[in-house]
Chain A
Amino acid sequence: MLPYIINNSIFNMPNLFKIKPSVGLLSLPYSFVFIFFFFIPLVLTFVISFWDYNEYSIIPDLILENYRYIFENCFSFENGMCVTFKTYLSTFMFCLITWFFTLIIGFFVAYFLAFYVNSLTWQIALFLLCTIPFWTSNVIRMISWIPLLGRNGLVNDFFLSTGLTSTPQEWLLYSGFSVVLAFVHLYTLFMIVPIFNSMMRIDKSIIEAAYDSGANGFQILWNIIIPLCKPGIVIGSIFVITVVMGDFITIGIMGGQQIPSIGKIIYVEMSYLQLPAAAANAVILLFLTLLIIWIMTKMIDIRKEL
């Protein structure tokens, strides 16, 4: 949904008025929802990020203090990197690693579903299997990792009993590793769905023609399937990246609350009623996320490809 919204509603707003009146009318209800519950709150967030605040209220003002505060000590590297840079760096790393693994796994799962499973019933059944991670609540899912990855968990039991290691491995849980594992486990589905969708649109006769012309499996994959799946890949990537950029629950629980995230900083500021500071952080986060998406949509024109 997200890339669609961005392409149609924000960047191409004037187009809305050029199209046929009946289409404009049809899109009216959604436009209203979009304007009132997304656009206006966003504008308010932006405005409040320039306000002042005290312990118990926010004060209309036009100050840059909230932004200055975020980047305090960020441009002198005497004491190492500042919190803000460190936090964004760690978030970008999670994005990149999660994106890489969800893409590789998601692509091949989608490939299998689209080209090797021929019956629709089986495709649906296997799709449902992919949604299993979403069947339980976030909290229960997170807690369930402990018996698997914990100090006395199954994996460590296996390591110890087979003599692979002599002491329990602590990096398995409450570490960068476990955060990435949870992300990949959860969000691979977001890659599978759009890529699968792209693959199903590929005309099978193109592949047959390539095969008949003597192309081998890898050549077909590289020269035909991947280029035709680009829109799906980009949409999936946008899903994964936006979710990981704003996440703080998974990073919090799987990282043992010891790994910083922008979401957590915003959350803490909000709970201490430092709303303008939280708004400023949110604006920066939004800006960076949109920037990434913008770059991705520049690489591939999704609208054209669709």
Chain B
Amino acid sequence: MKKNITRRNMLKTSTAAVGAVAGAGLLKGFPAIHAADAPVIRYLGTAVNMGDAVQKRLFDDTGIKVKFIVKTTDEVVKTIFTQPNSFDIVDSEYFSMPKLVPSGNLLGMDTKRIKEWDNVTSAFTKGEVAGKKIGDQGTAPKKVMYLKGSNSKEFASEPTQHVTLIPTVYNADTLGIRPDLIKRPISTWAELLNPEFKGKASILNIPSIGIMDAAMVVESMGEYKYPDKGNMTKKEIDLTMKIFTEAKKAGQFRAFWSDFNESVNLMASGEVVIQSMWSPAITAVRTKGIPCVYQPLKEGYRAWAAGFGLPATTKGRQADICYEFINWYLSGWVGAYLNRQGYYSAVIPTAKKYMESYEWDYWMLGKAATADIMSPEGKKLASKGEIRDGGSYEARMGSVECWNATMDENKYMVRKWNEMIAS
């Protein structure tokens, strides 16, 4: 570990030197961004929502190029710990913050440098949608948003100038179903373990997210009411896993999935008719012409949120470029792009400017489509007259029950999850 620290210090010094050179450039009157040839940002993240179109637009608007370092959610976290200087900007999820912030590898981001900060949705800053409090069980963004200072390793309970991540995208997740094979309404999470779907159900085999879906099911079955699903005690973990182990032994699950494509195939092939699912997977099944519904459930949604962070060593010109990139990201074009994928943009008013009014009505207001709805890649997602699953932004985000989480008993939870898989 000691070796690591010296290496980090060395890199810190060298970055500072680069910053000084860039500063000298500024004095001569060159604009920060165009001082050198096309600045390149090393972007660490899952990059699921960053298509070629985004990169092209970015370059046209700002002259910035992006080099992607694409990894899975867990690997992104690992990279921040083990190679904190291998990237310029990281696209991470809020539930990783309780793990990441104490390491001191991320910079407290200055909200004063974010033009649209005041327009960031209240779901992030206050945990409210349309003035109404939403569920905050688990690692809700507002709990891990603010820091006590730019180099702080502690969260602040009140809003401050410095934040962990600048929010970009979020969504409310629920179960996906095949309405043509189920042939009756589904309205509760408890249906996942309904023996009617024996051998035709699935849940994701990513413990930290799977446990949340499992908790939603257990609670809706009336088995137990968790004080906080996102931070279970050992006893609560045991109870949750016991119920799922029994279901697994009884043959309830056709398969578990751990990869986005697996969930699409399970659903599209009809091997599974009800399962945990992510929004773009629903879209993928539907674009194959197979009916698939992202079913709103009465207990509410499990939400997640992501944002941009910078390595703790970011300074000078590098910081300028990164902030410029983030400001561009929040300025609307990308927001509209994200909204059209079925996610939500962190800054809603700017995204609206880049959406057609019929698109806005469909995606955000939950109204029937007045024209065919297209994906950003130009594939048809919904026909005229259809309504978005779950309805409007307020209906969907307003019904959030809990957030993806890192529990205090994480280690124990992972162990128990493995036991369930092995049972």
Contacts and interface: CB of A to CB of B under 8 A. Distances in A.
Interface string B244-282: 000010000111111101100100011100000000000
B194 interface: no
B251 to A, nearest CB: 8
A90 B257 CA distance: 20
Interface residues of A, number: 35
Interface stretch (B12-20, B95-103, B287-295, B341-349): B95-103
B84 to A, nearest CB: 11
A58 B255 CA distance: 34
Contact of B414 (A59, A151, A260, A272): A272
A59 B81 contact: no
A294 to B, nearest CB: 27
A143 interface: yes
Interface stretch (A33-41, A123-131, A197-205, A250-258): A250-258
A56 B102 CA distance: 8
A146 B271 contact: yes
A256 B418 contact: no
Contacts of B255: 174, 256-258
A58 B1 contact: yes
Given A58-B1, A60-B1, A150-B271, A258 B100 contact: no
Given A150-B271, A268-B207, A273-B78, A55 B265 contact: no
A139 interface: yes
A262 to B, nearest CB: 10
Nearest to A149: B271
B265 A143 contact: yes
Interface string B72-101: 101101100100000000000000001110
A146 B266 CA distance: 9
A57 interface: yes
A274 B253 contact: no
A87 B75 contact: no
A272 B74 contact: yes
B78 A271 contact: yes
Contacts of B38: none
A83 interface: yes
A246 B379 CA distance: 41
A170 interface: yes
B3 to A, nearest CB: 11
A269 interface: yes
A146 B268 CA distance: 11
Contact of B421 (A152, A253, A257, A272): A257
B162 to A, nearest CB: 20
Contacts of A151: 269-271
A258 B253 contact: yes
Given A151-B271, A257-B421, A174 B254 contact: yes
A58 B422 CA distance: 27
Contacts of B411: 272, 274
B391 interface: no
Interface residues of B, number: 39
Contacts of A56: 81, 99-100, 102-103
Interface in A91-146: 139, 143, 146
Interface centre among A56, A90, A151 (most CB of B within 10 A): A56
B375 interface: no
Contacts of A274: 411, 414
Contacts of B205: 252, 257
A289 B314 CA distance: 46
A84 to B, nearest CB: 9
Contact of B256 (A57, A59, A256): A256
B265 to A, nearest CB: 5
A68 interface: no
Task: Choose among A58, A257, A270 the residue with the greatest number of B CB atoms under 10 Å from its CB.
Answer: A257
Nearest to B204: A257
Nearest to B414: A272
Interface string B398-415: 000000000000110011
A173 interface: yes
Contact of A147 (B102, B257, B269): B269
For A151, A265, A272, which residue has the most chain B Cβ atoms within 10 angstroms? A272
A141 to B, nearest CB: 13
Nearest to A53: B411
A303 interface: no
A83 B422 contact: yes
Contacts of A146: 265, 269, 271
Contacts of A273: 77-78, 81, 99
Instruction: Kindly name the residue among A268, A269, A273 whose own CB sees the greatest number of chain B CB atoms within 10 A.
Output: A268
B231 to A, nearest CB: 14
A83 B418 contact: yes
Contact of B271 (A60, A173, A252): A173
A78 B362 CA distance: 57
Contacts of B422: 83, 86-87, 90, 260
Contact of B199 (A58, A143, A170, A260): A170
8 contacts: A55-B102, A58-B1, A86-B422, A146-B265, A151-B271, A173-B271, A252-B258, A253-B262
Q: Which 9 residue pairs of A and B lie closest in terms of their CB atoms, listed nearest first? A: A256-B255, A257-B256, A271-B74, A260-B422, A257-B205, A56-B103, A174-B255, A83-B422, A55-B99
Given A272-B410, A272-B414, 8 more contacts: A83-B419, A87-B422, A139-B261, A147-B269, A253-B262, A258-B256, A268-B414, A269-B414
